[in-house]
Amino acid sequence: MNIEPLIIKFLCNKAYSISKEELEYLETWIENPKNQATFSRYIKVNIAIEKHLNTYDIERVEQKIKDQIKQKKHLFFIRKFKKAIIYTAAASILLMVALTIFLNKESDATYVKPTIVNDEIPIGTDKATLTLGDGSKIALKKGKEYIIDGITSNGVELVYDSETKSTVTTYNTLTVPKGGQFHVILSDSTEVWLNSDTQIKYPVVFAEGKTRQVELIYGEAYFDVSPSTKHNGAIFKVLAKEQEVEVLGTEFNLKAYSNENSIYTTLVEGQVAVDFGFVKKTLVPNQQSIINIDNKNVDIVSVDVYNETSWKEGIFSFKGKALKDIMKVLSRWYDTEVVFFNQNIEEIKFNGVLSKNQNIEDILITIKNTNFINAYEIHKNTITLK
């Protein structure tokens, strides 16, 4: 029996069921000395909050789990979930989950009930607006098909016919709003995943033998570029603000949001040359270039590409991220505004991952349970952290 899903199901007892047999198996597994190293590693990797990395006690964690198991053996709630959801949960609850059980410093803070003036903030979904060359706009959304002149969409992705030929270069613009995401396959078979609050401009048909060029007007996109060897050596370029990325055939992530003063280019595979106008850098896999638009400073750093690109797989992965940065990502996906009533909590750093299918209130409850925020409020489309 796989132990990690059992730990996850136990920690998420309010949302996921766990059988009596599974509880007994979990209890036996934890008590086995042979599993101590595995258990310790699991806690360190998946449950650690940065502020406590050097202070938490694995033995205390273990004992609290044992105590909780004994207290809850007689409480079983059967709920019908698809099998896949249990494993999606593995990615959705590891951000600060159960930290009151594991890492709480026995806080005596007074409980403050959340204030909610809203039925529910919806989870993001597949949607975008396609602007054609003549200026007409087409709403694309999940479950709605669209077909016209070599362009098709099933509401999740937009596909351009690779066989279409044209002597006139016509541009389309695809705009993904907050609370949205979309996938587009360009006429040269290059695939682009667009994150929330993103806009990209590209030709309907790339001119044969000429540079294939697109523009990330703002936002974040993951590119899987069709190699130049399949297009008579034609290179692929992406423009983003003051930056130009030259590609021969590779996978990379580009983030250039309009409300941020930095551009982040993360190379997953292959090689790219990043040109900032005043300096040109070549990246190798697992490297990220960061350009500060204000002071023109350029840094090249090594990164975990999974943390930078997991959003396109339905996962937000955070490692040592400040709460203000986490909430900035979440505000785009849930199409909300976030206000910090207490600015002292903005820089608290967390490790963990979230599923993009998770309800925002579940995330807020988990954050509150760390005792690093006293309360939160949801008023219409605004979340206030206190």
pLDDT in tens, 10-32: 654 433 456 777 777 877 887 78
The burial of 243, by beta-carbon neighbours within 10 Å (0-12 exposed, 13-18 middle, 19 or more buried), is given as buried
Q: Which residues of 326-364 are buried (b: 16+ CB within 10 A; e: fewer)?
A: bbebbbbbbbbebebeeeebeebbbbbbbbbebbbbbbb
* pLDDT at residue 47, rounded to an integer: 47
Q: Residue 50: which pLDDT band, with cuts at 50, 70 and 90? A: very low
Q: Mean pLDDT for the chain?
A: 79
pLDDT (average), residues 335-343: 91
Domains and CATH numbers, the chain: 3-102 (no CATH), 125-264 (2.60.120.1440)
Dump pLDDT digits (tens) for 315-325.
888 888 899 99
* pLDDT at residue 45, rounded to an integer: 47
Q: Residue 7: which pLDDT band, with cuts at 50, 70 and 90? A: low
pLDDT (average), residues 276-290: 91
Dump pLDDT digits (tens) for 234-265.
999 999 998 999 997 799 999 999 989 999 99
* pLDDT at residue 1, rounded to an integer: 65
The fraction of the chain above a pLDDT of 90, given in percent, is 45
